[in-house]
């Protein structure tokens, strides 16, 4: 079943990059008591993710946070080493929290997992507004590209 507006995010552990290295972090640590913009991308370093989806959030950080958002979080089904390299390459450190859902547990738990030819299981491209762990807005792409899940959509929903 796909997660819907009004649902709580499932409890899973992610890997993230911190100043002290790689660290496991639970859903509730990221989302409890906070307003968060979460977006999912099929793969680090992939063309649409790197050229269209992530840059939109990077360039709109101030505008998004000005609307009361505590943090912007990106999740992908890639291992933490790939996420770390992509974060450094894209310049997200201290701006966007980058999460590795390396085994795809989160993607499956929210029903947004997808098998992609030659890439294995990934998360579908999406964005959502999460308030205290509860989904308030959800935007899932149903065709290639960033059509409904980009930063401009989120800004209009905040």
Active-site residue set: 49
Q: Which residue has the tokens 């100043």?
A: 19
Six-digit token string for 40: 């999912």
Nearest to 106 by CA among 17, 44, 25: 25
Supply the Cα-derived Rg of the chain in whole angstroms. Answer: 14
Comparing CA positions, the residue from 106, 81, 92, 103 lying closest to residue 21 is: 81
């Amino acid at each position: 079943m796909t997660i819907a507006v009004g649902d709580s995010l499932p409890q899973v552990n992610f890997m993230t990059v911190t100043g002290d290295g790689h660290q496991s972090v639970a859903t509730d640590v990221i989302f409890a008591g906070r307003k968060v913009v979460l977006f999912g991308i099929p793969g680090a370093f992939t063309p649409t993710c790197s050229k269209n989806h992530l840059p939109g959030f990077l360039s709109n950080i101030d505008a998004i946070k000005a609307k009361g958002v505590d943090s912007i979080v990106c999740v992908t089904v890639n291992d933490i080493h790939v996420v770390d390299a992509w974060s450094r390459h894209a310049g997200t450190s201290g701006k966007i929290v980058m999460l590795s859902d390396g085994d795809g547990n989160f993607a499956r738990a929210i029903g947004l997992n997808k098998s992609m030819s030659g890439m294995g299981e990934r998360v579908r491209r999406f964005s959502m507004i999460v308030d205290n762990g509860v989904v308030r807005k959800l935007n899932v792409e149903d065709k290639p590209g960033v059509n409904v899940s980009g930063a401009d959509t989120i800004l209009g929903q905040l």
